[in-house]
Amino acid sequence: MAHSAKVTATVEAWESDAVETGARHIATLVEQVRAFPDDDVDGACNASASCSRAIAAAVTPEELDLYDDGDGDYPVRGLAGDVGFQKVKFIYVENTHATGQLTLSNTGVSGWSTGPFGDGTIIPPGGYLLVCDPGGPGWAVANGNQLIKFTADEDGTSFKVVVAGVKK
């Protein structure tokens, strides 16, 4: 079965299954993505990382640094595991809040402008964004082109992010 067919089958199973098992399906999907070949960078996707966050105040955005590997070269929190990416092949963002709307932004200073979504992408309460490039080159991440900004219309809006790709 081709990589894209495996991803499609896993996502369809996950969407049709109960919410409690959604995390298991995402973990399976990430493992499939990590097996994707990547001829541009040493052969394959070799890293995945995740985090769960909440936006304390609707007026204060939360930023996620895809490039930071814990070396302290950028003062924004990265993903769990301190994995910095040079290329992203898979990104999943879930709005886990019951009522707050989540908005993703990729512009501004060090914004991830090469990422797979436009500025101002909205994820409704309980919704998710899943973007995967199994057979393609993925999306580049570099110092100065690495931040995703999350804003919300309600205090305490929570979300989770799972990323797989090629680590720097």
Strands (E) across the chain are located at 37-38, 43-44, 47-55, 62-65, 85-95, 102-105, 121-123, 128-132, 139-140, 147-152, 157-167
Residue spans of beta strands (DSSP E) within 11-132: 37-38, 43-44, 47-55, 62-65, 85-95, 102-105, 121-123, 128-132
> Residues 78-107: pLDDT tens digits?
665 567 888 888 888 999 999 999 999 887
Angle at 165 between CA 160 and CA 25, to 5 degrees: 50
Token pair for 166: 């090629």
Mean pLDDT, range 109-121, rounded to an integer? 84
pLDDT at 70: 61
